[in-house]
Chains A and B, each alone.
Chain A
């Protein structure tokens, strides 16, 4: 082709290209991994950062929202590790096995790798890449959509993460909690995790993301999750980044036959958040619940983009996403259910609701159904609206002050999504977090 192409690179794009060039030699992995990184980087070099004319990124224009690319984070020093000790406090009442990553690097002394349950294997990604762990060779990069630029950047620059295998038939009672925490330095991290849950195994996986309020750090996290036949997996992601942070994360999952799979995302932090879920229902007879609750205020921007791809027959999926928006916050939900020709008897229902607490908040809902099979039950619904004044008056007429009445109604609104979580302790922790958010809002109201 002889076409002359002029690509105008943004400062962030140029910085990312430089970061890759400089880091390439010291990033972990053998030649095959390096080739994988380069191929991924080529996708980015060709496409640039996604912008509003790219349909899947229409509402989250990274060229605009990501003015600059921060330098790759250096390994955490002692101070950074110390400050990370209180990370994940929101879930302190849950007895989980914690794997802590500070600035994208696994920190053994903050993690709990003692006495692993039988059937459970856990390794840091950097180590697994360095010694060609066969689990990686078989699975890494097989699920996450290679053409997605966020995923491509993650693959090109992935440094560390968790590599977890749960052997066939093993039930891991203690939830596994991946704690990702940013220290005070303003940097970018690219963490990549791989979780393989073999057939008939059972596990609960929590990932939480947090960092300091005053730093505009950047996080790009991706997790590839393989759910074997008849396995039961719960995945929970808590995005509690600092107020100025940019967070892009991806869950790519392949779910086998007759499995149970639940995913829940709780988003309350971060200046810009893009949460992507790519789910493939590869085996028949699986039941899945995909839910999320988002609470944003100020100028926060939070985008949930979901693709539920029904490939095999007889699967049931329920998608429920609730967003509460205050001030000038901007919420986005893009949900696509695809039913492939062989996925007969698919039963998929998606509901997204936005509750606008301010006239200046904006919610964009884009539900889509693409159905190629003829014997299915699919549906979607989307609503956006303010609190119901009649209901509020009823509560106030019984003596409940306005802020408290609103708080009750907001909790009820989010409850529909949060109550779908099977783990009681986690449900309570999330409702407590919602209550704290509402309290902070009430104090502002009274001020």
Chain B
């Protein structure tokens, strides 16, 4: 069974249609890349999957693990295994990173009927994961993302993903603002999580990230629809030729 099935999805923001009949099927264990020019609807897709308020689906269906995604609140989606790595992670002054991580993990476990993690178990897990991502313990003592550089915020997103072990991770331009070293750390963090039961949707403007996170399938999103699907070689083709031909196609 497909993990994520999107059928003829239309989405509006403030009355303006951004997604115009998008179809996508992601099976368990697959890594999909979604590429496209600015304004094609990439981030809209990410937000509508996570459940952001202003993104209103007006037609179509999304089934996540066989269930209607739109019946679930954002926290319910997260507990069901949906994870969005934000393009711009939020700073939340006053909320300690460790409190945030533990609250999130235990809220999800509780909703799934699992036991909460004990404090020593939790600390051990966070220490291990942050070590592999090069996140200093000092960063974890700060408030969520407060005073973090762009790269640190992105690594913190990957730490959250690794801790929460989602079924489907949507990475929204996780490569933006990263230098090559940070990009490698983030990509390694993602690759370590690849598993037969876990899927990824990697949203990016550039091919660069896909040299490190090698996708099974590449889609081109243009003007709110997927206009071409191919293998990983499609990403290289796009890098060489740009998006011009797809934009013309969508406009036609």
Taking beta carbons and an 8 Å cutoff, which residues of A are in contact with B?
389-391, 393-402, 404-405, 408-409, 411-413, 415-416
Segment from B21-29, B95-103, B125-133 that makes contact with A = B95-103
In the docked arrangement, what's the CA distance between A413 and B94, Å?
A: 7
Partner of A399, one of B86, B92, B107, B143: B107
Instruction: Give the shortest distance, in Å, between B212 (CB) and chain A (any CB).
Output: 25
In the docked arrangement, what's the CA distance between A396 and B143, Å?
A: 17
Return the CB mask of B239-250 against A: 1 if under 8 Å, else 0: 000000000000
Q: Are A416 and B94 in contact (CB under 8 A)?
A: yes
In the docked arrangement, what's the CA distance between A393 and B49, Å?
A: 13
Return the CB mask of B79-112 against A: 1 if under 8 Å, else 0: 1000110100110111100011001110110010
In the docked arrangement, what's the CA distance between A415 and B99, Å?
A: 14
Q: A409-B92, A412-B93 are in contact. Are A399 and B53 (CB under 8 A)?
A: no
- B53: chain A residues within 8 A (beta carbon): 389, 393
- A416: chain B residues within 8 A (beta carbon): 93-94
Q: A397-B78, A399-B111, A401-B75 are in contact. Are A391 and B90 (CB under 8 A)?
A: yes
In the docked arrangement, what's the CA distance between A412 and B53, Å?
A: 23
Instruction: Give the shortest distance, in Å, between A405 (CB) and chain B (any CB).
Output: 8
A-B contact pairs, 21 of them (CB 8 A): A391-B90, A393-B51, A394-B90, A396-B74, A396-B75, A396-B78, A397-B50, A397-B51, A397-B86, A398-B75, A398-B160, A399-B78, A399-B107, A400-B103, A400-B107, A402-B75, A408-B103, A409-B92, A411-B94, A412-B92, A412-B93
Nearest B residue to A413, CB-CB: B94
In the docked arrangement, what's the CA distance between A395 and B86, Å?
A: 12
Q: A394-B92, A396-B74, A402-B75 are in contact. Are A408 and B99 (CB under 8 A)?
A: yes
In the docked arrangement, what's the CA distance between A390 and B74, Å?
A: 12
Cβ of B18 < 8 Å from any Cβ of A? no
Cβ of B73 < 8 Å from any Cβ of A? yes
Q: Are A395 and B73 in contact (CB under 8 A)?
A: no
- A391: chain B residues within 8 A (beta carbon): 90, 92
Partner of A393, one of B52, B107, B111: B52
Instruction: Give the shortest distance, in Å, between B94 (CB) and chain A (any CB).
Output: 3
In the docked arrangement, what's the CA distance between A393 and B86, Å?
A: 11
In the docked arrangement, what's the CA distance between A393 and B73, Å?
A: 10
Cβ of B164 < 8 Å from any Cβ of A? yes
Instruction: Give the shortest distance, in Å, between B93 (CB) and chain A (any CB).
Output: 6
Q: Are A394 and B86 in contact (CB under 8 A)?
A: yes
Return the 3 tightest CB-CB contacts between A and B, nearest first.
A412-B94, A399-B78, A399-B108
- B77: chain A residues within 8 A (beta carbon): 397
Q: A394-B89, A404-B103, A408-B100 are in contact. Are A399 and B164 (CB under 8 A)?
A: yes
- A390: chain B residues within 8 A (beta carbon): 90
In the docked arrangement, what's the CA distance between A373 and B61, Å?
A: 68
In the docked arrangement, what's the CA distance between A408 and B98, Å?
A: 12
Q: Are B94 and A415 in contact (CB under 8 A)?
A: yes
In the docked arrangement, what's the CA distance between A226 and B83, Å?
A: 58
Q: Are A398 and B92 in contact (CB under 8 A)?
A: no
In the docked arrangement, what's the CA distance between A313 and B214, Å?
A: 67
- B93: chain A residues within 8 A (beta carbon): 412, 416
Instruction: Give the shortest distance, in Å, between B226 (CB) and chain A (any CB).
Output: 24
- A395: chain B residues within 8 A (beta carbon): 92, 95, 100, 104
Instruction: Give the shortest distance, in Å, between B92 (CB) and chain A (any CB).
Output: 5
Task: Find the residue from A391, A402, A412 having the highest chain B CB count within 10 A.
Answer: A412
Instruction: Give the shortest distance, in Å, between A83 (CB) and chain B (any CB).
Output: 38
- B75: chain A residues within 8 A (beta carbon): 396-402, 405
Instruction: Give the shortest distance, in Å, between A112 (CB) and chain B (any CB).
Output: 36
Instruction: Give the shortest distance, in Å, between B231 (CB) and chain A (any CB).
Output: 31
In the docked arrangement, what's the CA distance between A390 and B89, Å?
A: 10
- A401: chain B residues within 8 A (beta carbon): 73, 75, 107
Instruction: Give the shortest distance, in Å, between B201 (CB) and chain A (any CB).
Output: 15
Q: Are A398 and B78 in contact (CB under 8 A)?
A: yes
Q: A389-B53, A409-B92, A409-B95 are in contact. Are A398 and B73 (CB under 8 A)?
A: no
Given pairs A393-B53, A397-B50, 14 additional interface contacts (CB within 8 A): A394-B89, A396-B51, A397-B74, A397-B75, A397-B84, A398-B78, A398-B164, A399-B75, A399-B78, A399-B79, A399-B105, A399-B108, A401-B75, A408-B95
Nearest A residue to B84, CB-CB: A397
Q: Are A399 and B95 in contact (CB under 8 A)?
A: no
Q: A391-B90, A396-B75 are in contact. Are A412 and B95 (CB under 8 A)?
A: yes
In the docked arrangement, what's the CA distance between A409 and B94, Å?
A: 8
Q: Are B94 and A396 in contact (CB under 8 A)?
A: no
Task: Find the residue from A389, A408, A415, A416 having the highest chain B CB count within 10 A.
Answer: A408
In the docked arrangement, what's the CA distance between A405 and B74, Å?
A: 12
Partner of A398, one of B52, B99, B100, B143: B100
- A409: chain B residues within 8 A (beta carbon): 92, 94-95
Instruction: Give the shortest distance, in Å, between A122 (CB) and chain B (any CB).
Output: 38
Nearest B residue to A414, CB-CB: B94
In the docked arrangement, what's the CA distance between A413 and B143, Å?
A: 12
Q: Are A399 and B94 in contact (CB under 8 A)?
A: no
In the docked arrangement, what's the CA distance between A401 and B75, Å?
A: 5
